[in-house]
Structure 1
Amino acid sequence: MKADFHMHSSFSDGSETIMQIYSLAKEQGLKAAAITDHDTILGLKEEEKASKKYCIPFIPAAEFTAAVKGMKFHVLGYGIDPNNPELLRYSNCFLEQMNERSGRQILKMQQAGIEIEEKEFFEKAGGGPLYRAKLLGVLADHGLLRREDIMKSLSLYFGKGAPYEEEDHFSYKSFYKICGMIKEAGGYVVLAHPGKIKRKNRQLYDALLREDCLDGVEVYHHDNPEDVRAELLAVAESRRFMVTGGSDYHGIYMKQPALPGSEKLPEELAVGLKHLLTGYFSL
């Protein structure tokens, strides 16, 4: 059964709306899905509508940023309550602070001679924060940047010492607080693309896989090489973890283009997540 449990919409740093993603998912033959927008649950009501329209069951989910000793990594929350007050407060706070940063970046662009109104930039946000890729998407719309160069240009425009650099001052929570938020919202904690963490900090990777608050690991992701996948599957078996995976779809905001469902998932994975699915389904 074809499924994808890791995708991003315009409610975070994806280029497509939730409806557009579900339309693509239908075209690709997906039978189950989850949009895991970054640090927000504000799109979950729209996902419920999309699920009904396209008859694809979904898991209410999000991908949260945790910060440990200056390093950021991602934690997926599956089966979360879309009406959880704490997650809604967190989501709205994140949206507000990210857009304040974007406003400062836009001002720097305008002062440098880029004559595009702030309103046009924020229209590109699509309901979510105005991420850096979206800012460059507007420049591409005006012919100031090639669309295929958006992702490779992020550091040139916004990196350390770049002309439109603005630090992210959002107070990201610790891993334990993120786990607490997810569990308070009735969700399950899954470590996102652990291969990324392993490359940056092997000690942290090993420590996280031993954490009691962890419920699962994302095995099937393009950032996990085969040896890491085998290692994670062994950990999942020994600790009775749930196993997840997906394409990490971002629309045009991807270094390596892919479509929903492009990461092949084992049949048993979707069946193992069936208890978290909501909406129309016939697994």
Structure 2
Amino acid sequence: MFADLHIHSTESDGSNKPKDVVKLSKRNGLCAIAFTDHDTVSGIDEAKSASIMYDIELIPGIEINSFDGHQDVHILGYFIDYKNENFLNELKSISDSRILRAKKIINKLNELRINISYNDVLSFTNERFIGRPHIARALVKGGYVGSVKEAFDRYIGDACPAYVERYRLHPFKSIKLILESGGIPVLAHPGLLKDNNIIDSLIKNGLKGIEVFHSKHSESDTLFYKNYAEKNNLLITGGSDFHGIELDGKNLLGTIKLDYSYVEKLKEANRKYRNNIKNKLK
């Protein structure tokens, strides 16, 4: 039995609706998946309903886009209490900042005589999650660029004319937020970090696992981080980071098949963590 613990939908920057992602996952031979949309949990209820229909295990999750001052550090959260009020309030702050940033980017593009509107961008997403990929797709549709990559390279990428910095949590805060929601924080795709020296500090601040298996990891990345996880007594996870065939260029579902034994270890770690919390409250 195999799982994929890193999947996105249209509730963040994916191209498939939550229920369709579940259906595709079942079709690709997976018995369990984690829904890990960026900075939002809005798709989990729909995915849970679909998981019952298609008889596939659904783990509630999230991928929090964090920044340590030098590099992006994404933190995955598994078995989160996605109804937790404090958790949802923090996510709303992130969502509000995304909306403000998108409007600033669009204003800059308009100043460059690129006439796209906020509503043009919303045709590719919803207001709960709006980001540069959606603006890029609006630029393609408007005929201003030939591809999403060109949109980033010419206009909205880092240091480009319409770039606007965005609000992101520090990874230490992301870890704390996940722990406070009863979840297990795991470092996403460590092989993509510019500097992996931060991992030791993440562990000291409560990190519980590492995404060893990832679609963009080389064999040497996988071996290195598997050894690192075992040496530091960290949980091992893995996922395709599926965003949809349209965006990934191919179907990533099923390319990373995490043995279900790793899911069982993750579930056991979560049970122990939640029991410890209950005992402390007695």
Give 1:156 shift. Answer: 1.7
Task: Decide whether the 8 Å contact of 1:9 with 1:37 is kept in 2.
Answer: yes
The 1:212/1:98 distance shift into structure 2, 3 A limit, reads closer
- Figure out how many residues of one structure are paired with residues of the other and give that number: 269
Give 1:161 shift. Answer: 4.4
- The aligned counterpart of 1:192 is 188
Residues 84-132 of structure 1 deviation map (CA, whole Å, 9 limit, x = unaligned) = 1122111111111111111122233344444444223223213542211
Choose from 154, 176, 183 the match for 1:180. 176
Alpha-carbon distance between aligned partners in 1 of 2:136 and 2:13, rounded to the nearest angstrom: 12
Alpha-carbon distance between aligned partners in 2 of 1:185 and 1:175, rounded to the nearest angstrom: 15
Residues 36-73 of structure 1 deviation map (CA, whole Å, 9 limit, x = unaligned) = 11122232222222322332211111111233243321
Task: Decide whether the 8 Å contact of 1:17 with 1:126 is kept in 2.
Answer: no
The 5 A counterparts of 1:61-76 are 61-76=61-76
Choose from 235, 257, 269 the match for 2:262. 269
CA RMSD in angstroms comes to: 2.5
Give 1:222 shift. Answer: 2.6
Give 1:209 shift. Answer: 6.6
Identity across aligned pairs (percent)?
Answer: 31
Alpha-carbon distance between aligned partners in 2 of 1:132 and 1:20, rounded to the nearest angstrom: 23
- The aligned counterpart of 1:204 is 198
- The aligned counterpart of 2:77 is 77
- The letter for the 2-side match of 1:86 is N
What is the DSSP-based 3-state SS (H/G/I as helix, E as strand, rest coil) of the residue aligned with 1:26? helix
Alpha-carbon distance between aligned partners in 2 of 1:64 and 1:191, rounded to the nearest angstrom: 10
Residues 119-164 of structure 1 deviation map (CA, whole Å, 9 limit, x = unaligned) = 2322321354221111122233345444xx3135413221244332
Please state if 1:240 is matched with 2:221: no
Please state if 1:167 is matched with 2:165: yes
Task: Decide whether the 8 Å contact of 1:21 with 1:260 is kept in 2.
Answer: no
Give 1:267 shift. Answer: 4.4
Task: Decide whether the 8 Å contact of 2:139 with 2:151 is kept in 1.
Answer: no
- The letter for the 1-side match of 2:125 is A
Give 1:224 shift. Answer: 2.6
Alpha-carbon distance between aligned partners in 2 of 1:190 and 1:122, rounded to the nearest angstrom: 31
What is the DSSP-based 3-state SS (H/G/I as helix, E as strand, rest coil) of the residue aligned with 1:183? helix
What is the DSSP-based 3-state SS (H/G/I as helix, E as strand, rest coil) of the residue aligned with 2:163? coil
Alpha-carbon distance between aligned partners in 1 of 2:143 and 2:26, rounded to the nearest angstrom: 32
Deviates more, 1:222-231 or 1:186-195: 222-231
Unaligned runs of 5+ in 2: 271-282
RCO greater where, 1 or 2, for CA within 8 Å and sep 6 or more? 1
Alpha-carbon distance between aligned partners in 2 of 1:126 and 1:50, rounded to the nearest angstrom: 21
Task: Decide whether the 8 Å contact of 1:2 with 1:32 is kept in 2.
Answer: yes
Q: Which runs of 4+ in 1 moved over 6 A?
A: none
- The letter for the 2-side match of 1:266 is D
Give 1:232 shift. Answer: 2.2
Task: Decide whether the 8 Å contact of 1:79 with 1:276 is kept in 2.
Answer: no
What is the DSSP-based 3-state SS (H/G/I as helix, E as strand, rest coil) of the residue aligned with 1:58? strand
Alpha-carbon distance between aligned partners in 1 of 2:192 and 2:152, rounded to the nearest angstrom: 19
The 1:212/1:138 distance shift into structure 2, 3 A limit, reads closer
- The letter for the 1-side match of 2:33 is A
The 5 A counterparts of 1:23-102 are 23-102=23-102
The 1:214/1:115 distance shift into structure 2, 3 A limit, reads closer
Task: Decide whether the 8 Å contact of 1:74 with 1:192 is kept in 2.
Answer: yes
